[in-house]
Amino acid sequence: MLSLKFIQENKQDVIEKLKIKNFDASQIVESILQKDEERKKTQKEQDDILAHINSVSREIGDLFKSGKADEANQAKEKSTSLKQDVKGLTEKLSQLEIELHDLLVQIPNIPHVSVPAGKGAEDNENIKEGGEMPQLANGAEPHWDLAKKYDIIDFELGVKITGAGFPVYKGKGAKLQRALINFFLDENEKAGFSEIMPPLVVNEASGFGTGQLPDKEGQMYHVGIDNLYLIPTAEVPVTNLYRDVILNAKDFPVKNTAYSACFRREAGSYGKDVRGLNRLHQFDKVEVVALEHPDKSYAMLDAMVKHVEGLVQKLNLPYRILRLCGGDMSFTSALTFDFEVYAAAQKKWLEVSSVSNFESYQANRLKLRFKEEGQKKPQLAHTLNGSALALPRIVAALLENNQTPEGIKIPDCLVDFCGFDMIK
């Protein structure tokens, strides 16, 4: 969430910039400022009374010590009546704090100046294309048919044991998953991201820290009996490692990578674009997460985009990089670049990575701060993350683009990890 102070100091700017995200903040900003005034006033009243009670209590102590019990008992009555006054104020104050917080949480992150206006995916800015488009023979098959033909991914079996969107990978299909995970982790490690293997379930505080809660509650699987959530991405546990942490400025940059299974309910997205591996409830992804000094977070974003581009290039997939428009960006992001690869048989661009700078938006929820050398006040860090990479759509594109009459060719960079160079 945005910090209250920032909203107070940049009121008009906040309202203007959020228009890019098609969000009308004028009213909510107004109520926030008003609510905060009321909060301050109430807290001041409360603090004054508490200060009074404290001083009376100290007097009582002294009076008892010096044996003046009568005066002490008089003072006691006074203190009791003050306590009555403070009780109502305390309730009012905590109510105000809850209301203020509920309002703050409703404001999305401010988009970076470079974010184009727009309503949806069609308005994203195509900033770069790379790789070669494969020339497939007539009768090229989409990956769901290839998966069946070579018996490497079984969608029906997944339905039987769990449900739609939970595929079963078999034989070389399973090995290919493992190979991709290892390849990505190794590449990320080489780029300076140190590896984390996080829990796949998180508590409520973590869901809140990265912004999945409260607004995207329906997107996560919830284990009701223990009140835990299955992670939709490793971003959640990894970023939350740094919740309530005050870093030293010289600790930057902090760079982590993590493989995890990801779980998404994808409620409401049935029907379109969900065939085969295009959209799943459970999938594998390797994530990169970075914490950086506010002055350097955009340089880090560029570096991360470059790194992800390198991965896609090594896999020899045709790709494009999009700068997301205001309407297509996530609630929490300030600037996002999406990577899409081309799956030549279904003739579709598939999103395989999303690299974002959240600036201090997540950090404010996480209370992730840092101290500058010689400065007393901690300030909010910047957080960034990106997929490097999400597996299913990479697999979809690999299968489709690399199909030959002899079988499916494995890209060179994966052969050592797989132990085979063709799926036949």
- What is the Cα–Cα distance from 11 to 23, expressed in whole angstroms? 14
Q: Residue 69 or residue 157: which is nearer to RNA going by CB?
A: 69
Judged by beta carbon, residue 29 or residue 300, the one nearer RNA is 29
Six token digits for residue 183: 């390849």
Q: Which residue has the tokens 């299955």?
A: 230
313 touching RNA, by CB under 7 A: no
CB of 364 to RNA, least distance (A): 10
Structure-derived torsion over alpha carbons of residues 320, 322, 327, 333, reported in degrees to the nearest 10: 120
Which of 27, 36, 41 minimizes the C-alpha distance to 6?
36
Assess 60 for contact with RNA (CB under 7 A): yes
Rounded to whole angstroms, the Cα distance separating 7 from 134 reads 50
**Cβ count near 282 (within 10 Å):** 17
Distance, in Å, from the CA atom of 177 to the CA atom of 199, rounded to the nearest integer, reads: 20
- For RNA, the closer of residues 50 and 422 by Cβ is 50
- Min dist CB 408 to RNA, Å, is 35
83 binds RNA (CB under 7 A): yes
Choosing from 6, 19, 22, 50, the residue that interacts with RNA (CB under 7 A) is 50
Least separation, in Å, of the C-beta of 331 and RNA?
Answer: 23
Is residue 64 a contact residue for RNA (CB under 7 A)?
yes
Restricted to residues 241-280, the positions that interact with RNA (CB under 7 A) are 246
Q: Which is nearer to RNA, 65 or 424 (CB)?
A: 65
| 6 lies in the binding site for RNA (CB under 7 A) | no
* Maximum separation of any 2 CA atoms in the chain, in Å: 103
- When binding is defined by CB under 7 A, the residue of 9, 62, 302, 412 that contacts RNA is 62
Q: How far is the CB of 140 from RNA (least distance, A)?
A: 44
How many other CB atoms sit within 10 Å of the CB of residue 270?
10
Binders of RNA in range 345-374 (CB under 7 A) = 369, 371
47 is a site residue for RNA (CB under 7 A): yes
Q: Does 95 bind RNA (CB under 7 A)?
A: no
CA-CA distance, 252 to 296, in Å (whole number)? Answer: 9
CB contact set of 203 (below 8 Å; sequence gap of 6+): 227, 228, 229
> What gap in Å lies between CA 161 and CA 139, rounded to an integer?
32
Cβ-contact 327, 123 below 8 angstroms: yes
Residues 161-190 that bind RNA (CB under 7 A): none
Nearest distance from C-beta of residue 74 to RNA, angstroms: 11
Q: How far apart are CA 330 and CA 324, in angstroms?
A: 9
Give the shortest CB-225-to-RNA separation in angstroms: 11
Contact between 56 and RNA per CB under 7 A: yes
Residues found near RNA in the complex (CB under 7 A): 5, 36, 40, 43-44, 46-48, 50-51, 53-58, 60-62, 64-65, 76, 79-80, 83, 246, 369, 371, 376-378
